Structure 1
Amino acid sequence: MTGPGTRLIDTVAWIHLRDGRILGTRTRGKELFYIPGGKRHDGESDVQTLLREVEEELTVAIVPGSVAHVGTYEAPVDRRTPDVVVRMACYTGDHRGTLAASSEIEEIAWLSYADRGRVPPVDQLVFDELRAAGELS
């Protein structure tokens, strides 16, 4: 999907499912929900990025030994900017602590497939795959 003239946004995300729903976060001032995670800092591995971002956003600690890669997805950031592509490496992992919105996060929610229109294109790919696997209601 990426090619000449394309700007890539490299991100890592945490797939956290409960009772057929996926955890979503909404940043202050934004309308869309996102799968928790964020951009990699220079020199960070996927797991380092995942642990840092989830702790910053949700005040929980991911257990490093429990982290498993689910898939990597790419999609334009939105329809208006098809030359900006988000690459999102997605992982599952157990956590310690109580989920709570922190930092720039205004709201957390448990989303079903019916909420697909409330997430960006790259997250929609994850929703589609989880739905096809029977993991998202």
Structure 2
Amino acid sequence: MTLPDLLVSAIALVRDRRVLMVTARGRDVFYMPGGKIDPGETPAQAAAREAYEEVALELDPDELVELFEVVTQAHGEPDGRLVRMRVFHAQTDAAPAASAEVGALHWVTTAEIDRCPPAGADVLRRLAASGAID
């Protein structure tokens, strides 16, 4: 039996050639601010909601621009279960802040790629290839 793909959305907030990533409380794995797309939500609406829930950023889903979709093995899931992560460019001058579900915020370059699960590592590689981050 094949497990259904995990459908998630995330934001890429880039400043000074670094992208915002977070760690969950008590864990040291870096991941993109984002999460599962709820029934009835568009991927952009999910990205905006998760950005608010995780890093206290109020983003307009209509202003988010989809950059790409990452499809890879889902972190912490059985072999063969894929995550399909739609990554949206977020633009705001507001300061992100860690929510109750987030342990800490990190401004990351490809130097930290070994601290990321497969999807996050793929995002870092793609952002670096586009010239957005170091």
Measure, in 1, the Cα distance between the counterparts of 2:127 and 2:119.
Answer: 13
Residue number among 83, 86, 106 corresponding to 2:83 in the alignment: 86
Question: Aligned residue for 1:63?
Answer: 60
Q: How does 1:104-119 map to 2 (within 5 A)?
A: 104-119=101-116
Contact 1:64–1:93, Cα closer than 8 Å, also in 2: no
Structure that is richer in strand per residue:
1
Task: Tell me the C-alpha RMSD between the 2 structures.
Answer: 1.8
Measure, in 1, the Cα distance between the counterparts of 2:94 and 2:77.
Answer: 38
**Equivalenced residues, count:** 134
Task: Give the gaps of 5 or more residues in structure 2.
Answer: none
- What CA deviation, in whole Å up to 9, does each residue of 1:6-63 have, x standing for no partner? 4311100001111111100111122201011111111111121111110011111013
Measure, in 2, the Cα distance between the counterparts of 1:50 and 1:20.
Answer: 21
Measure, in 1, the Cα distance between the counterparts of 2:94 and 2:100.
Answer: 16
Question: Aligned residue for 2:6?
Answer: 9
Q: 1:79 to 1:30 in 2, by over 3 A?
A: closer
Measure, in 2, the Cα distance between the counterparts of 1:25 and 1:79.
Answer: 17
Question: Aligned residue for 2:30?
Answer: 33
Question: Aligned residue for 1:21?
Answer: 18
* Percent identity between the two aligned chains: 28
